[in-house]
Structure formats: structure tokens, C-alpha cells
Structure 1
Amino acid sequence: MFPDFLKWAKESGESRDTIYEIEKVAARLDLTDDELDLVPADLGYFEKVVAVSPYGAVSRSKNLDTARKRGNSRIRTALERFLAARGQGTPDTAVRASYDRVIGFMVDNEGFADRGALFTTSTHKPFLLVRARARLSLPDLDQPEFDRLWHDATPDGRKSLRKFAQRIGKLRRGHNRWPELADLLPRQDFVAPAPSDRARRIEWQSLPAPFRSDAEEVFRETLRQPADMKDWAKEQLRLGRSAVEIDAEIAARVGKEKKKKPPKNIDSALAGYRQATTWLLRESHSPETGFAGLATLRELFTAEALEAACSAQIARSAASISLKNANKSSTLWSRFTNLTTIARHGLRDPEILARIGLVRMFNADYVLLPSEMTEDAEAICDRLRKSPHLAAAFVNAPARLGAISTEALEAASTDFARERALRLSACAAAYSVQVSRALRPANLFMIRRKATPGCPRNLTWIADGQHAEICFSGGEVKNGQTVIVNVQGDDARILWQWDRVDRPKLMKLRGIESSPYLFPGTANPRLRKAALNLPAGCMSVASIMELWDLGDRQLGLGLTPHQCRHALATLMLAVRPGDFANVASVLANTEEVARRHYGKDSGEAAAVAVREALLAHHPDIFARMKRRT
């Protein structure tokens, strides 16, 4: 465990800076020094949990990204030496040398392909990760060792490993072009394994056609709206059925079983029903047996299938260090809600409905409503209360990222450097919105600066570079409330810089011809709004998270786009202790939700500590916050 590692570092004469970095790990993970024994001294755990943890709580460096990389490197190399001393060796000199020869050959022959280079620039980079982690020499590298590297890697590391596997395949197939490498390469190609902490994915189109047809019909029945029933009744009258029969059937369909609230987004509801169905299928039908014989949705709803799906979900959460604990996740609630809706309004089967209810009761400890998930909000609020400089970093995030972007763009000499600088400008613009009125991520990254057929714009410049208004109608917001964001002052100038200056540059650099979105891309919206004809041209979820992570590495806050809502609420309660109605209005929530998330101590006690510390270091911060609210 890490206390053993720390003790070894002190006794073996590791540098003072390295020891300091090891001692910072507890604070980075929001643990006390006495709780450091909860952290295993394991390279895989370090890469997945410690290395990616926020660094702003333990450093006030002007370049937090560089400081974090330097600190992680010191811990990583010391940890490798510690494990080697314990007989859990790291790659020896001969192993590393087997990679050096291939890497050296590629580096010497990288450049522009149209100028005669054998490889494009940076072809060798994925090999660096494997050289640092592999226990086998490159010619002896096999699939089990590749699997070990994969399961120990971070998401970014897995991207490099996937590129490594692709390039090994290309190099092996090109043995006639590069005979110098023939004897230095592995004897096999590599396949990226399925993530161990993620469920096996089942594509809806891979299911038998009769089953899909039956399920889609049940889903249509489940989603039947009052207007659909009217059309059906008129059609039945035209066919000659008596009004009494039609009325009786309508009463049977929607009488006692009438939905409390029909879904606002049919596509989203349908996606939820499909996910719940494949969730049940995953454990009741193995990949070996396939889905042969599966004909109707009704036959899937057995107590055994429901229990198996719940047990597998709980086991996956317990075995993973990256997934939430099952008793702190709303996944089971979501699955049971969709299955209950299907059983009640689609299948209309009391036995299946009761069966789902019983299995839900058996697993009640793990069926957590989203409204009960306050732990994430509490953790963010506590972090800001304990570290006022983080609160100041959040409020000043747009200006900080804007300045870094400008400096990086001026110094950029390659397309890669220019693209990185422009992405930082995009992140600064996103933060300028979030510190003004923190939006849900689905709204933030769907902001449209231009109208398209059937879809209005959200962004309007009231005064160029000084005041922007971003408006979302109720149909675009999760709870149906209309949301208006006013971005003014310095934040408006940052948003203008991105919207009118840097955004066109990034689009040209990436080859994006046109996009109505403030944050452009080439993807389609994941969940289209029923009331809007959302166009293509937005960023994918993966691109959004990469963009946000790039900015967060400069700030060290460790916040996701959604967690900015918690941060803003904490600061608002510091300005106006106990004013949950104001928090609710800014976040477009109800006062009850705001009090549940942020009313742990009614706000007053925490506000005093955060207020005094913030005013001592940043006298103008509350004036800025009051302008926002």
C-alpha cells in the first residue's frame, strides 16, 4: 500500500521532491494522511486513479498541466523502483533495447509521406507506452501480455495501445518494404480486448428479426399517445365497429393504466426501452448460444433473467475501480423504470409487472433514484469549501484558459500545436457559459449560433463582444423550464474570441465545412429532441470529454461540465447563505432539489468559511458572482 511505498522512499534516499509528490497523493484523492493505506501501491491503480486525479488542490503552479505531469512522473518512476525492489520487476535493459531499435528506425524515417518519408510523423509514439510497461521484449510480445497492458491502461493509454496494434499489423504486412524490421517485430497481430469493467455490448440490429419486430410493436404500444388513440378510434369507426366496443377497448387500454406523464422525447424513451431489453438479454443469452429461438419480448421477462441481470450489474460495479458502486448509481433504477413501463403499458401483463416488482424489492439497496444521488454534489461542495483557491480558479477559469490559449497560439509552429491552442479557446468559451449560468452538458454543447430548418438558434449577440444571450426553450431542457444565459464583460469577450475568431480557424484546420453549433464537429446528436429537428455537425461525446479534459488539466479543478453546476451553487450560497430559491432559479431546478443537494448544513456554516477565505485572497470575487446571479 502507499504508506509502505512512502516509508520505502524515505528510507532508500529518494529525492525530497519525489517524497513530497507521494505525500500529496492523499490530498489529491480527498483522503487524510491516515487514509493513505486505502491506496494500493500498484502501477495499474496509479495510472487509472492517482495520475488522473485533480492537481489544483495541491499546487498553485501557473502551469498545472506541466506540474501534474512532472509530479506523476516522479511517483511513477519511484513506484517502479519500489516494485522492482520487492521482486515485482519492471522491464529490464534488454527488454527496453528490443523496442529501442524499432523506435529508432521509425524516428529516423518519419516525416512527410509526399516527400519520400517511410512513416508519417509520430508513428513511433504508441511504442513508447508499450516499451515503458511491457515485461516481454518486442519480438516475444504476445496477446496475454498485450491484454495485461490494456487492462492496466487509462482511456488515453488504450487509444495508444489500439494504435500500437494497428501499426504492428501494418509493419508485419510490409516486411518487403521494411526488411530491417522483420526480425524485430512480434510474431502475431494483436486484438484489443473488451473492457473488463464494461458490459458486453449487444447491437439491436444483431437480434433476430422476429424478436425485434415483436419488441418494436410492444414499444409502440407502450409509447401510444392520446393523439394516436384518437386516430385509432376514428379508423375503427370507419371500419364499422360499434362505438361501445371501441370505447370499452380504450377504457381497457388507458383507464386505470393511464400514464402519469407521457414521455416528452419519444426517441429517448425508445432508446431506453432497447437498452433495458438488451440488459436483460446479456445475461440470459451467452455469446456462445446466441439468440437462436428468441421470438417474443414477453418470454424474456422471467424472474431468473431479471435476477441474473441485477447480479451481473452489481458484480461489475464491485469489481471495477472506474465504475460507481452499485449502491451509489442510478443504473438499476433506470433499468427497472423502463422495464416496468414496458410491462404496464406495452405488455399489460399483471404477472410480469408483479415479477419485476419483486425482483426490484430483492435488490432495493441498489435501486437508487437520481434524486437521491447527492454524494457527487457534496464532494464538489466540500472540495471548494476546503480549498478557496479552487473556488477562485473556477470563477477565473475563462480568463485563465483564454490567456493560455492566446499564448499557445502565438507560439504554435505546427498544425498540432495550433489545433491544441484553438481547442483551449473552445474550452475557455465553454467555461465562460458555465460560470455565468451552469448549463447541463446536453445543452452546453448543443448551443446553436445559426438557425436551421425546423431548429432555431440559441446564441444571440446583444452587443458584439460585450453581451451574449443564450436561450433554450422548455422543449430543449431536461425538466421543461426555459433557460436564458447572459454572458457579459470579460467572459463575453472570451466567448466572442472563440465564436468569431478562433472557431473558424479550428473548422478550417479540421476540414469542417459548416456547422450551426457553437462547438462544431462532424457527429449527429445522440438523443434528438422530439420538438426540434436537430441538425448534424455537433461534437461527439468522446470529443467533448477530450476537449474538457484538456482545459481541466490547465486548471486542476477536477470538475466535469455537469459538476460546474455544483460549483456554481456552492459559490452562490457563499454569497447568499441559505438562498436555495436563488440557486434553483439559476440552475433551472426546483428549490426542493437545490436544498437536497446543497443544504447539508443549510449553507450558512459552510458559507462563512468559504466567504472569509475567498475575500482574503480575492476581494472582488463576490462582486463578480453577484453580477452573474
Structure 2
Amino acid sequence: MKHDRTLTNAAPPMFPNFLEWAKETGESRDTIYEIEKVATRLDLTEEELDLVPADLGYFEKVIAASAYGAVSRSKNLDTARKRGNSRVRSALQRFLVAHGHDTPDTGARASYDKAIKFIVENEGFVDSGALFTTSTHRPFLLVRARARLALPDLDQAEFDRLWHDATPDGRKSLRKFAQRIVELRRGHNRWPELAGLLPRQDFVVPAASDRARRIPWESLPADFRADAEEVFRQTLRQPADMREWAKEQMRLGRSAIEIDAEIAARVGDKKKKLPKNIETALAGYRQATTWLLRESHAPETGFAGLGTLRDAFTTDALEAACAAQIARSAASPTLKDADESSTLWSRFTNLTTIARHGLRDPEILARIRLVRLFHADYVLSPIEMTADAEAICNRLRKSPHLAAAFVNAPARLGDISTKELAAASTDFAKDRALRLSACAAAYAIQVSRALRPANLFMTRRRATPGCPRNLTWIADREHAEIRFSGGEVKNGETLVVNVLGDDAKVLWQWDKVDRPKLMKLRGLDDSPYLFPGTAAPRLRKSALNLPGGCMSVASILELWDLGDRQLGLGLTPHQCRHALATLLLAVKPGAFGTVASVLANTEQVAKRHYGKDSGEAAAVAVRAALLERHPDIFSRMQRRT
């Protein structure tokens, strides 16, 4: 785990010190219970709690964001999680004050209270005379809870500290806070009561420290891009292209021996596996190229003087790119450890393919192999990446009720959505309830046959020119079929999902009832996607003319997180595949062929992910526990398969 490595060098105090202090000073029993739950939330034993620093920044970024379902069976997990986090946060602040550390004080908090009170009293519909739109005050709540300075004294340095310690959701609030401050400071003449309560400066949102500098492909020099695209075209030369090239060379008078030798050289010693999706392959080559250029070209100098793609493949550039990738991972608690990530494997695979089949340069190929050898400990293929799968299996084995929560997720989220929508009195509340319905629909698909996220959120409910629909209702409210052609699926296999019974009702409610409401509420144009938005697909499919109108990656993550807070599972959309595989092996121990078929993988991959003790043995343990606590769960799972 990330914290295992990053905490060993962290300065004291640590969480055992915090827990001991809480008991000695008479903190409430509920607060002590919440502190003791931290180890389980982070999948640590009590003895391993000394790996967790008693630090507010770490608490907000790692502990507060961790799954809560393993430590609570509350009917409202989101509320229970917030309440538990609040108790630990408040006690941690008192603990740090007692040990001489700077924390938010009461006086600083009061300055926020005044501003928030004024804004709340004047929120509403601007068209009806309100000064501010609904929820203008919300970003101030996070800053009030975290800042060490009063609102008028808040400066860029303190804002940077808040940003560094914040979760992705917290950074979204901080970005909105910075925007609100700009708007409020510009309109000070309209509300003088607020002017004296605001910071004396605007804030600049820092660049994300744990993410690499983004280099758009279009920002590279045109000559370089043209050269690179030609190399990529040579790399992706298909058999039909090779045949046409060979015929052309024969017409030009070259000997058959020369042509045959060049074809053999282009193909290489090993049989080349042609990519099934040209556009995805091109995107990978471009991404690997910008990754290679990022560290060898400083932002201030840009890419002036950048020649050909061949010139970019230097040993220094390869070394610098690898070192930067490993350093980013080591410095961030939100990124995977470099030795648990397949990023370097992906980059080296693409660069090797370009060097062998595009540039056809033995020297460059040797450089890549050597640098890959130097960093072999961090070059992990996706097939070897079983840590995620093992973690999910272990979590289900230790907490069988989480398996039941996963299977029943669509119905639970659907019920919460219906109740919240009935009680909603504001557009914000209605939007939240409708997004919960969308998440319930996503889960209805995932528990039926867990899809890769790219397929799940690109599901189309109607056809567009050059692009067929995926979703078809075989029987209203009872049976939905979702079909993807081979060109849409990662491994090129046709994939069909059947959503039946209660899950079909949940999907119908979203598709036919709640989806139109959300689109109207958000003012969205008509979209063919089951999960509509305003974005364009990130990776175009060569066989399809994918339209715009889908959800952005950020919106997808926000939507999924909203649902996961109600379930407490701590699963990502992709990790649902691991959860479903574990449950299938619980129903049929050792049935890796079934798992491979359901997940649209090979049996070899299924065995590598789930064939260890943490797979088959964990599944047996899960089965026994689930049969004892939820005797009907397997009859439901059998119907799914």
C-alpha cells in the first residue's frame, strides 16, 4: 500500500500516540471508537497503526476519503462516514494543539462564520432578487474547516497548503472558492457588508503536484508531428498496406529478394501482433512520445529546435522520463507505487514497438532495452498486476456483508435516489438525487456483467450516423440487452450484457424517467449516451463515428464517488470486475473459464488474477460466510450467470 512506504520516514506523532492521548484525556467513547476504526479502514492491523501519521493533511487526503463500509453497517453510510470523520478530525486538532502544532483556531473560524451567514441569507434565485445563487457559500465550508488563518488574512501560501493537503473533491471545492473570491471581490460595491470580510487578494490555483505536466499533441512543432505520424503509420502498417507496397516496389523494378528481405526486416524476428484498434494504438504512441519529451524539454523553453522523432530517443531522455515517473509516484499518496503500476510497462511497450516497426533502428531499440533493464523493478505488466484483485478478494473475505452490499447496490442506490428526489426542494438536491439514480443504473450493469469503464460510460441508448446503439429493451422494465461490437472492446471480442429482474427496473427508471429529468435540469442537449454530458469521447474508435455528448472523466469519477459514499465499498468502476470475479468463484470455486467469459478476458488472465490463495481460497471463505448470513445471495448470482 502507498502509506506503507511513505509513512516510515514520516515525523512523529503517529496514530498510536493520538489514540493513547484520546484515552488518557477522556475523549468520548464514540470518538475513541472512530479512531480505532482507522486501522480497518486502511486495511491495517492494530499493530500496523504506527504506520499512520497523526497529521491533518494525511487525514484529509487518505483516511477521510477511505471506504467506510467495512467498519459500519449504517443505513446511511455517507452520514455515518461524515460524522465519524468529523469526530476524528476535531479530536486530532485538539491533540495537535496539545502538542504545540498549528491548527485552525476559534477566532479564525468566526471570520468565516460571518461571511457564510451573510451569503446564506442572500442566496436564492437571482432573477427573483437574491444577491447570490444557491450554494455560493459551500466552498467556504471546506476552507473554514482547514484554514489556519482568518478569512481576511488568508494568503496564497495558506491556499497552497490547503490545496496540497486536499483530496481531488476538496481541490474541486478550493477551485470554486478561488472563483467565488474573485467574483465577490469584484462586486464589493454591491454588498459593502461583505467587503471587509473577504481576503485581500485573489488566489491562483496551483498546478497539481502529483500529476505530470500535460503536453497536448497539437502543441508540438508541425514538422515534428508530421515526421512522428509517418513513423506511426509505418509502425501500424497492415498486411494489405504491405502487399500494396510490395507490388509498387516490383513495378519500380526492385528484385524480389530485396523486397522480401525488407518485408522480413519490417516485420521483425518475432511475429508482430497487429493492434485491433488503430486509433487506440495511435493514442498510445502519441502519449508515449509526449511522456518521453516532457522531462527533456523545460516548459519555459518549449519545443523549439525539436527535430525528428528519431532524435527524441536518447538515453538521457529515457532515463529522465523514468526517474520523473518514479519520483511522482513516490511523492504522492494518491498515486500507485511505481512498483505496483503498469505505467512504465505501457510506455516501454509503445516505445519498443515504434523503434522496432516504425524507426527500424537497432541502436534505439537497444537503448530502450537497456533503460528498461535499469528500471526492471518498476516495469510491471498488467497481467502481473494482481494487487488490486487480491485487495478486493481480501476485503470481501474479511467483510462478507460487503459482498451482499455489492450485489444489492442497484436496489439500494435506487431506493435512496427515489426518497431523496421526493424530498428535494432545491435544484441542488434534485441534481444529487438524479445522479444517484444514474449511479444505481451503472451498478445494475456492473453486477450483471462488470464492464470496463470505457464501455460502461460510453453505452449508447440510440444510434447516430455511423454509430449503432448498444442498449436495447427486450422487455420493458424486465430485460435489457447491451451489446458491444468487437471494435469497441479492448480485446476485440463481441460483448453482450443482459440486465434482468430488479436490476432491469433500476436501469429502466434511470433510462426512461430520471435521465430526461437530469438533462432538463442541467440544460443538456439531446445525447445518445445512457450517461449524458457535454464531453467528447477521449479515444475515438476507428470503426465507429462516436458522437459528442458523453460524460467527462471527472464527472464519471464524481458520479461514482457519490454512489460509493452511500455503499461504503471503496470500489472503482474497474474494481467491480474483481468483486464480480470473486463472487463467481464463490458460487463455482475454480471456474476460471466462467470468470474469463463473464469478464471478457482469457482464462490465463483470470487465473493470474484470481488463481492464488487470495482468489480461490478467498472465494471458498466468502461462500461459507455468505451462505450463513445471506442464504439467498447465491440463487441471485446463479440467475446472473
TM-score of the aligned structures, taking structure 2 as reference length: 0.94
Task: Judge which range, 105-114 or 241-250, deviates more.
Answer: 241-250
SS of equivalent to 1:148 = helix
**Structure 1 residues 206 and 66 mapped into 2: Cα distance closer, same or farther (>3 Å)?**
same
Equivalence for 1:584: 596
Give the superposition deviation at 1:140.
2.4
2:249–2:259 CA contact under 8 A, matched in 1: no
- Name the counterpart of 1:56: 69
Percent identity between matched residues is: 81
Query: Is 1:480 aligned to residue 470 of structure 2?
Result: no
Task: Please say which of residues 572-581 and 112-121 is displaced more in the overlay.
Answer: 112-121
Question: Take 2:624 and 2:371, find their aligned partners in 1: how far apart are those partners?
Answer: 51
More moved, 321-330 vs 274-283: 274-283
> Once the 2 structures are TM-superposed, how far is the Cα of residue 599 of structure 1 from its aligned partner?
1.2
**1:355 Cα deviation (Å)?**
0.6
Superposition CA RMSD, Å: 1.9
- In structure 2, relative to structure 1, the CA distance for the partners of 1:120 and 1:605 (3 Å cut) is closer
1:607 aligns with 2:619: yes
Letter in 1 for 2:95: F
Match of 2:36 among 23, 35, 48: 23
Letter in 1 for 2:565: R
Shift of 1:253: 5.6
1: CA distance between counterparts of 2:198 and 2:491? 56
- Within 2, Cα distance between the matches of 1:242 and 1:581? 51
Is the CA contact 2:459–2:529 (under 8 Å) kept in the aligned structure 1?
yes
Q: Is the 8 A contact 2:564 2:570 kept in 1?
A: yes
1:622 aligns with 2:634: yes
One-letter amino acid matched to 2:423: A
| 2:307 matches 1:295 | yes
Task: Write the letter of the residue equivalent to 1:386.
Answer: K
1:217-260 CA-to-partner distances (Å, cap 9, x unmatched) read 2222222222333444566677x555659836852663536761
Query: Relative to structure 1, is the Cα distance of residues 244 and 594 closer, same or farther in structure 2, using a 3 angstrom cutoff?
Result: closer
Equivalent residue, structure 2, for 1:451 = 463
1:401·1:424 contact (CA, 8 Å) conserved in 2? yes
Residue of structure 1 equivalent to 2:152: 139
- Which AA in structure 2 matches 1:329? S
CA offsets per residue over residues 252-304 of structure 1, 9 Å max, x none? 66353676122222221121112111111111122233322212221111111
SS of residue paired to 2:477: coil
Aligned to 1:438: 450
Match of 2:26 in 1: 13
Contact 2:276 2:492 in 1 (8 A): no
Q: Distance in 1 between matches of 2:193 and 2:420?
A: 39
**Which residue type is aligned with residue 368 of structure 1?**
L
Q: For the residues of structure 1 that align with 2:247 and 2:524, how far apart are their CA atoms?
A: 49
For 2:19, the aligned partner's letter is L
CA distance, structure 1, for counterparts of residue 312 and residue 83 of structure 2: 53
CA distance in 2, matches of 1:40, 1:488: 47
Q: For residues 546 and 247 of structure 1, do their structure 2 counterparts lie closer, same or farther at Cα, with a shift above 3 Å needed?
A: same
> Unaligned stretches of 5+ in structure 1?
none
Q: Name the CA shift for 1:256/1:200 in 2 (closer, same or farther; >3 Å).
A: closer
| Distance change in 2, residues 1:216/1:259 (3 Å) | farther
8 Å CA contact retained: 1:470, 1:484: yes
Please list, as runs of the form range in 1=range in 2, the aligned pairs for 1:347-362 lying within 5 A after superposition: 347-362=359-374
Residue of structure 2 in register with 1:420 after alignment = 432
The equivalent of 1:220 in structure 2 is: 233
Corresponding position: 1:309 with 2:334: no
Instruction: Tell me which amino acid in the other structure corresponds to 1:510.
Output: R
For the residue of structure 2 that corresponds to 1:184, the secondary structure is coil
Aligned residue identity for 1:85: A
Q: Counterpart amino acid of 1:384?
A: L
- The CA deviation at 1:334 is 0.6
Q: 1:256 to 1:341 in 2, by over 3 A?
A: closer
1:461 aligns with 2:437: no
In structure 1, how many angstroms separate the alpha carbons of the residues matched to 2:437 and 2:121? Answer: 34
Question: Does the residue aligned with 1:370 lie in a helix, a strand or coil?
Answer: coil
The answer on whether the counterparts of 2:111 and 2:197 sit within 8 Å (CA) in structure 1 is yes
Task: State the Cα distance separating 1:74 from its structure 2 match.
Answer: 0.6
Partner residue, 2:545:
533
Any conservation in 2 of the 1:432–1:487 contact (CA below 8 Å)?
A: yes
Residue 107 of structure 1 pairs with residue 125 of structure 2: no
Following the alignment from structure 1 to structure 2, what is the Cα–Cα distance between the partners of residues 500 and 210? 50
Query: Contact between 1:2 and 1:39, CA under 8 Å: does it hold in 2?
Result: yes
Equivalent of 1:209 in 217, 222, 231: 222
What is the rounded CA distance, in whole Å, between the counterparts of 1:13 and 1:582 in structure 2?
Answer: 54
Structure-to-structure mapping, 1:241-320, within 5 angstroms:
242=254, 244=256, 247=259, 251=263, 254-256=266-268, 260-320=272-332
User: CA separation in 2, counterparts of 1:209 and 1:338?
Assistant: 22
3-state SS of 1:313 partner: helix
Superposed displacement of residue 209, structure 1: 2.6
Match of 1:35 among 48, 63, 72: 48
2:380 pairs with 1:368: yes
Give 1:24's aligned amino acid. Answer: K
Conserved 8 A contact 1:264-1:530: no
Equivalent position SS for 1:484: strand
Deviates more, 1:161-170 or 1:95-104: 95-104
Partner of 2:205: 192
Q: CA deviation at 1:179?
A: 3.4
The answer to whether residue 191 in structure 2 is matched with residue 175 in structure 1 is no
What SS does the corresponding residue of 1:371 show, helix, strand or coil? Answer: coil
The alpha-carbon distance between structure 1 residues 304 and 603, as it changes in their structure 2 partners (threshold 3 A), is closer
Q: Distance in 2 between matches of 1:420 and 1:301?
A: 49
**Change beyond 3 A, Cα 1:417–1:362:** same
Post-superposition offset of 1:325: 0.6
Distance (whole Å) between structure 2 residues aligned to residue 607 and residue 255 of structure 1: 44
- 1:67-117 per-residue CA deviation (whole Å, 9 max, x = no partner) reads 111101111111111111111122223322333333333223222211222
1:388 is displaced (CA, Å) by: 1.0
Identify which of 559, 566, 578 aligns with 1:566: 578
Relative to structure 1, is the Cα distance of residues 132 and 603 closer, same or farther in structure 2, using a 3 angstrom cutoff?
closer
Q: Does 1:78 align with 2:57?
A: no
Q: Matched residues in 1 for 2:638 and 2:196: separation?
A: 68
Report the alpha carbon displacement of residue 162 of structure 1 after superposing the two structures with TM.
0.8
SS of 1:185 mapped into structure 2: coil
Counterpart residue identity of residue 92, structure 1: D
Asked if structure 2 preserves the Cα contact closer than 8 Å seen for 1:283 and 1:305, the reply is yes
Structure 2 segments unaligned to the other structure (5+ residues): 1-13
* 1:521 match: secondary structure: strand
Shift of 1:129: 1.6
Contact 2:39 2:46 in 1 (8 A): yes
Deviation at 1:16, TM superposition (A): 0.5
In structure 2, distance between residues paired with 1:175 and 1:416: 26
CA distance in 2, matches of 1:608, 1:343: 47
The answer on 1:508 being equivalent to 2:551 is: no
Corresponding position of 1:343: 355
Give the Å deviation of 1:337. Answer: 0.8
Q: Secondary structure at the match of 2:273?
A: coil
Secondary structure of the residue aligned to 2:158 is helix
